[in-house]
Amino acid sequence: MSDVAGQVEVSRASRVLLAMAAVAVAFAAADTYVVVLALPDMMTGVGVPIDQLQRAAPIVSGFLLGYVAMLPLIGRIADLRGRVPVLVMSLVLFALGSLITTLAYDMPSIVGGRFLQGVGGGGLVPATLALVADLYPVDRRGIPLGVVSAVQEIGSVLGPLFGAAVLAVSDWRAIFAINLAVGLVLAAAIRALAPRASASTGEEPEQRASRPRVPDLVGVLLLLATFAAGAIVFLRPSGLMRDLTWGQLFIPYAGDGRWLTPIGTITVAVLVLLLAWCWFAPRPLLDLRGWVRVLVEADLVGALLLALALGGVILAFATADPKIEVFSPRGRWYLLGAVVAAAAFAWHVRRAANPLVPRGALRRTPAWGALLVSFFVGAALIAALIDIPLFARTTVYPDDQLPAALVLVRFLLALPVGAVAGGYLIRFLSPGVVTAVGMLMAAAGFVLMTRWGLTTLEEPIANVALVVGGLGFGLALAPVNAALLAFTDDDVHGVATAFVVVSRMVGMLIGISALTTIGLRRYYAEQKVVPPVQEVCDGRSRCKEFSDLLRVAGIAQEHAVFWGAAGCAVVAAVLALVLFRGVRVDRVSTREVISTH
C-alpha cells in the first residue's frame, strides 16, 4: 500500500516538475518578444540615439545568437547530466543575463546580458521536451508535448503585453528585474522538486549523492562580494563617486573604461577567487570542475564549431535590413565563415570518439525528417509573425503600432489551442497526417490573407484567416516533436530536440529574408505604374489618391509574401506525409518494447 502511495506521490511530483519547466519555457519565450516595445527606451538607456535604430540590432541578434548557437551543446548536456540540472542551470543563466541587462550602461554590457538570457532561455526548451519523453511513454506523450509547445507560443503573446504593462508604470529596466526574480524563484522551485521526481528525470543517483548537504558559506560570501562589487561598477553610485576617499575607486588607471579602475580590478579579483574556490573546494557552491568535465564529454570543440556555423547564418540574416537586402553587407563573409565552420564540424564529428551528435543518432527517416519539416514550418510561420502586423500598418493602422500588433494576437491565441489539439490527435492518427492537415490549414489561412484589401482587417471575415492559420500551425508542433522523440534513442533526446528548435529558427531567418525579397520585387513592379508624386499630388484629395496608390503597392508586396508562405506550408505538409509515412505514436514501438525487457 505504501509503495503504491509512493508511486502516486512521485508521479504527482513529476507532473508538478514538468509544469514548472513549462512555465519557465513560457516566461523565457516571452522574453524573446519583450523588447518589441521597450527597444527605443533601451537604446536611450545605453547611450544610443533613437534615430540610429540600426545600432540596436545587436540587442535583438545577441539574444537570438545565444538562443540558437548554444542549443545543441545544452541539449547534449541534458542527455549526459540530466534534465533537472540543465533546467536549473539554464534558469540561473537566464537570471544572470537579466541582472546584467538590468544594470547595463553601454551596448557591450546590454548585448552580453541579452546573450546570456538567450543561452538560458534556449536551454530550457530541449531539456523540457526531453523531460516529457522521460516521464511519459511513447503513446502518452502527445498532449504533454502539445502543452509545452502551447506555452512556448503563449509566450509570444504575453511578451509584448508584459512589456507594455511594465512600461506603463516603470522603465525598461524593471522588465529585466522581474525576469531576474522569476528566474531565481523558478530555479529554486525546480531544484526543490528534483529529489522527489529524480527517478523519472534522468538524473543519476551519484549526481544526487554528490550534492552538498550543507551550504558552502565561503562560496556564498564570495558570490555576494562579486555581485556587490560588480553592481558598484555598473551603477557607479553618485554618493561614492563624489566622496574624496571612495571616489578614488572610480579613477581609471588609463583611458576611461569602468573596468580599468580600482573597483573594477577588485571585482575581477573577487570573481577569480570565486572561480578558484568552486574549482578546488571539496563541496563548492557550484561544481565547476564537474561542469567542465561534462562540457568536455559533451564535445565542447564540436559545439563551438557548430556555434560558429549557426552564428554565421544568424548574423548574415539577422543583421540585414529586410527592406533593402537579403543579408547584411558583410553577410557573404558571414556565410563563407559558416560554410567553413560547418565543414570543420562535419569532419570533427566523423573523427571524434564522443561527438556532439552521436553517430547514427538521427539516422532514422522520421528523425532527420523532423528537422526538415521544422525548417519549412519556421519559414512559413515567420511570415505570419512579421507580415500580419506590417499589413495592418499598411492598411488600417498606419499611425499606431499597438493596434497593428494586436491583430497578430488573434492568430497567436489560436496557435496554442491548435498545439494542444495536435498533441491529442496523435493519440489516434499518424503524426504525418496531423502535421500535413495543420500545415494545409496554415496554407489556406495564408491564401485567405492574399484576399485581404484596404479595409478587410476591420471586418469580422479577417478573423477566419487568422484563426485557421493559427490553429494550423499549432496542430503541426507536437506531432513533429513526437515523431522525433519516438525515433531517437533516450540518451540523445536532448540534443535531438535542440536540433528541431535550431532548424525552425534557421528556417525563420532564411524564410523572412527570401520571402521579403519576393515581396519587394512585387512592390517595385506595382510601384512602376504609380505616377510621380509631382504629377499626382497637386491638392489634398490628389495627395490622398497618391497615398492610396502606394498602399495598394504595399498590399501587393504583403500578398506576395503570403503566397510564398503558403508555398512553404504546403512543402512542409508534403514532407510530413512522405517522411513520417507509417509513423504511429499511439502505440508503443517495437524498439521500446524490446528495451523494457
Nearest-angstrom CA–CA distance, 519 and 558: 6
% of the chain exceeding 90 in pLDDT: 28
Nearest-angstrom CA–CA distance, 481 and 20: 20
The predicted-structure confidence for 87-136, as pLDDT tens digits, reads as follows 999 999 999 999 999 998 888 899 999 999 989 988 888 888 888 888 88
The predicted-structure confidence for 369-400, as pLDDT tens digits, reads as follows 999 999 999 999 988 888 888 888 778 777 76
On whether the CB atoms of residues 232 and 262 are closer than 8 A, the answer is no
CB atoms within 10 A of CB 168: 7
Q: What is the pLDDT of residue 326?
A: 59
- Report how far apart, in Å, the C-alpha atoms of 236 and of each of 23, 31, 92, 142, 421 are: 35, 27, 25, 52, 52
Nearest-angstrom CA–CA distance, 73 and 296: 10
Least-confidence region, from 96-105, 161-170, 257-266, 428-437: 161-170
Nearest to 24, CA basis, from 163, 135, 124, 147 = 124
Nearest to 24, CA basis, from 112, 123, 115 = 123
Q: What is the pLDDT of residue 543?
A: 53
| H or E element that contains 439 | helix 431-449
Q: What is the pTM of this model?
A: 0.81
Q: What is the pLDDT of residue 523?
A: 64
CB atoms within 10 A of CB 521: 12
Q: What is the pLDDT of residue 445?
A: 96
On whether the CB atoms of residues 59 and 108 are closer than 8 A, the answer is no
Q: What is the pLDDT of residue 333?
A: 85
Cell numbers linked to 67: 538562443
Q: How confident is the model at residue 314 (pLDDT cuts 50, 70, 90)?
A: confident
Q: Write b or e for each residue in 431-458: b if 16 or more Cβ atoms lie within 10 A of its Cβ, otherwise e.
A: bbbbbbbbbbbbbbbbbbbbebeeebbe
DSSP class per residue in 226-289? HHHHHHHHHH--HHHHHSTTGGGGGS-SSTT-SSSSHHHHHHHHHHHHHHHHHHHSSS-SS-HH
Nearest-angstrom CA–CA distance, 487 and 395: 46
Q: What is the pLDDT of residue 593?
A: 30
Cell numbers linked to 393: 500598418
Nearest to 547, CA basis, from 529, 528, 530 = 530
Q: How confident is the model at residue 210 (pLDDT cuts 50, 70, 90)?
A: very low
Nearest-angstrom CA–CA distance, 313 and 510: 9
Nearest-angstrom CA–CA distance, 383 and 376: 11
Q: How confident is the model at residue 9 (pLDDT cuts 50, 70, 90)?
A: very low
3-state class of 461 per DSSP?
coil
Q: How confident is the model at residue 10 (pLDDT cuts 50, 70, 90)?
A: very low
Q: What is the pLDDT of residue 529?
A: 54
Q: What is the largest CA-CA distance in the chain?
A: 89
Give every CB contact of residue 410 below 8 A, 6+ residues apart in sequence.
Answer: 463, 466, 467, 470
Nearest-angstrom CA–CA distance, 496 and 247: 53
Q: What is the pLDDT of residue 209?
A: 45
The predicted-structure confidence for 23-67, as pLDDT tens digits, reads as follows 888 888 888 777 766 777 888 887 777 666 566 677 877 888 888
| Residue for grid cell 492574399 | 450
Q: What is the pLDDT of residue 53?
A: 59
The predicted-structure confidence for 492-523, as pLDDT tens digits, reads as follows 888 898 899 889 988 888 887 777 777 767 76
3-state class of 24 per DSSP?
helix
Q: Which domains does the chain have, with CATH numbers?
A: 1-210 (1.20.1250.20), 220-280 (no CATH), 361-597 (1.20.1250.20)
Dihedral pair phi/psi, residue 170, rounded to 5°: -150, -170
On whether the CB atoms of residues 18 and 128 are closer than 8 A, the answer is yes
On whether the CB atoms of residues 505 and 378 are closer than 8 A, the answer is yes
Nearest-angstrom CA–CA distance, 98 and 174: 10
- Report how far apart, in Å, the C-alpha atoms of 359 and of each of 151, 363, 564 are: 32, 8, 36
Q: What is the pLDDT of residue 441?
A: 97
The predicted-structure confidence for 224-260, as pLDDT tens digits, reads as follows 999 999 999 998 888 888 888 888 888 888 777 788 8
Dihedral pair phi/psi, residue 400, rounded to 5°: -140, 115
Dihedral pair phi/psi, residue 361, rounded to 5°: -65, -35
Q: Positive or negative CA dihedral for 72, 78, 84, 85?
A: negative
On whether the CB atoms of residues 129 and 110 are closer than 8 A, the answer is no
Cell numbers linked to 277: 574556490
If phi > 0 it is left, if psi is from -120 to 50 it is alpha, else beta; for residue 163 that is alpha
The predicted-structure confidence for 351-377, as pLDDT tens digits, reads as follows 888 898 888 888 899 999 999 999 999
Q: What is the pLDDT of residue 30?
A: 82
Residue type, 277: W
Beta-carbon-side half-sphere exposure of residue 357 (alpha carbons within 13 Å): 22
Q: What is the pLDDT of residue 505?
A: 86
- Report how far apart, in Å, the C-alpha atoms of 27 and of each of 87, 197, 204, 238, 384 are: 13, 22, 28, 34, 22
The DSSP code for 532 is P
Provide the Cα torsion 243, 246, 251, 257; round to 10°. -110
Nearest-angstrom CA–CA distance, 280 and 344: 35
On whether the CB atoms of residues 145 and 129 are closer than 8 A, the answer is yes
Q: How confident is the model at residue 533 (pLDDT cuts 50, 70, 90)?
A: very low
Residue 546 pLDDT > 50: no
Residue 534 pLDDT > 60: no
% of the chain exceeding 70 in pLDDT: 83
Beta-carbon-side half-sphere exposure of residue 228 (alpha carbons within 13 Å): 7
Nearest-angstrom CA–CA distance, 476 and 580: 12
3-state class of 453 per DSSP?
coil
